[in-house]
Chains A and B, each alone.
Chain A
């Protein structure tokens, strides 16, 4: 980390152009810097060899690079890796890399901790420490061992992306722009618990996919699991999504963690079918791996399968997400909480 010095990594082309203008450099210098930052391998500003010596000197004196190595990595028997990155004030963020066939999906964090307080989430138990900058978000891709092989990115790590909308949108711009990482927006999914104003701004300003954490279609139940429900009820979230034109390329999916005896009954199947009726979407069922101190336990395999089949019969396209990396605390927030406690 480079203390309080402004860093280059995480700046959009427009911001780099502003820097170039401020120092009286030609406009193309900004593009050259962007290419070094986002397309090439570099460890210091000195590596930007097609910039003049003088330009490099000014950059070095004025800015930090902002590309930071991970501080720890753990690998699961199934190949899933969990990276820890140090951030300000002895805090850590987690990044998961999940290999599957020819894909390598990276799950990035958008905040240090989280303000949303979901009952089933370890990150929520940390409370909120700070927002990540766009640079810190994409550093989780740039600085992992698989950086050259990443095929997909999901914003499903620590934090609520739409509670850090500006930096998340900036990171998406850098990932999907030709001057940036040149990734297809079809390979990026942002997951949210449904903060409506942020979600609408995201839908307007980005063309990446959206995933919504649903977890129960019933208002009273969702309020107990996810405090956000009192402010942004899931019915309103879905109503807004139904009113949005997703076109042919953009996907909407819903995440559904299965809690035994809580949200896994035929009554839930019926209500889910009613809620999602008319929406072209996928419902992803997720096994719950209990975290310390939670009163919730996971639904058994047989019930998950039946739940999936019943939903598919009702016309809701439903899949079960494979559990990965269980031996390395892959549930979001567990590893960083362990590290946080150790350091305190």
Chain B
């Protein structure tokens, strides 16, 4: 039983893309963008972790998740209506960015902590590379484009679109002749993407000390 959880009500639950939801609930504790919270539906089950995906100035906490058909929590969480109860924890975690020049690299819902950073005003010297399978998975794309302009790179592996790099994030990075070695590289998403991108960056001369990853295990 996780004693650090408290009950709260969902204030909205929106399906922003097929099988992908953003749920919101009241903010009781301040957070730093990039942090995570734990969510459970009962004290008996181990909670799952989610990145907060909105700005620190908001009065609510938002999380972005995709439904894992065979999973325990996400199918249930996706069908909880406004007013429904969930258990959440205080924010925690240290995947937080500062003012340094940074490349943010995400796949799928791994965009969440980066959108929180951008939405909180952590924008200067940031470049964001988002890899997805289909065009409708560029979550928060319009808002990010407004904030980052050309420093927002969209990579789509299974569909083509205007201004979109056709291929995986690894292909995009492979194609970059000179990676800035003193920049920070923040990676977020599934394990295989993180280890592949990390190996690639290291092989291109980026010191491993400049690479920080959050894996959605």
Q: Which residues of A contact B (CB under 8 A)?
A: 114-117, 119, 124-125, 127-128, 160, 163, 165, 197-198, 201, 219, 223-224, 227-231, 233, 293, 295-296
Contacts and interface: CB of A to CB of B under 8 A. Distances in A.
B209 A227 contact: no
Interface string B88-106: 0000111100000000000
A127 B192 contact: yes
B195 A197 contact: no
Contact residues of B: prevailing secondary structure? mixed
A54 to B, nearest CB: 36
Nearest to B194: A117
A197 B2 contact: yes
Given A230-B94, A230-B214, A117 B191 contact: yes
Contacts of A229: 94
Contacts of B195: 117, 124-125, 127
Contact of A119 (B49, B92, B198): B198
B213 interface: yes
Nearest to B195: A117
Contact of A224 (B36, B203, B209): B209
A281 to B, nearest CB: 24
Interface of B: 2, 36, 38, 46-47, 49, 92-95, 190-192, 194-195, 198-199, 202-203, 207-209, 211-215, 217
A159 B160 CA distance: 36
A115 B212 contact: no
A293 B36 contact: no
A227 B213 CA distance: 5
Contacts of A201: 46
5 contacts: A117-B194, A117-B215, A160-B217, A230-B214, A293-B202
Contacts of A198: 46
B4 to A, nearest CB: 10
A119 to B, nearest CB: 6
A231 B214 contact: yes
A338 to B, nearest CB: 17
A91 to B, nearest CB: 13
A224 B211 contact: yes
Contacts of A233: 94
A183 B191 CA distance: 35
Most chain B CB inside 10 Å of its own CB: which residue of A124, A198, A296: A124
Contacts of B38: 197
Nearest to B38: A197
Nearest to A166: B46
A333 to B, nearest CB: 12
B212 A116 contact: no
Contact of B198 (A114, A117, A230, A231): A117
Contacts of B192: 127-128
Q: Which 3 A-B pairs have the closest CB atoms?
A: A127-B192, A115-B217, A115-B191
Contacts of B198: 117, 119
B191 A127 contact: yes
Given A224-B208, A230-B214, A293-B202, A197 B47 contact: yes
A119 B94 contact: no
A195 to B, nearest CB: 8
Nearest to B34: A230
B48 to A, nearest CB: 10
Contact of A231 (B93, B199, B211): B93
Given A117-B198, A293-B203, A231 B212 contact: no
Most chain A CB inside 10 Å of its own CB: which residue of B49, B94, B190, B191: B191
Contacts of A224: 208-209, 211-212
B43 to A, nearest CB: 12
Nearest to B200: A293
Nearest to A197: B46
A114 B199 contact: no
Contacts of A296: 208
Contacts of B211: 224
A119 B191 CA distance: 12
A230 B212 contact: yes
B191 A223 contact: no
A84 to B, nearest CB: 21
B47 A227 contact: no
Contacts of B46: 165, 197-198, 201
Most chain B CB inside 10 Å of its own CB: which residue of A117, A165, A198, A219: A117
A9 B215 CA distance: 33
Contact of B95 (A115, A119, A125, A230): A230
Contact of A117 (B36, B202, B213): B213
Contacts of B212: 223-224, 230
Given A127-B191, A227-B215, 4 more contacts: A223-B212, A228-B215, A230-B94, A230-B214
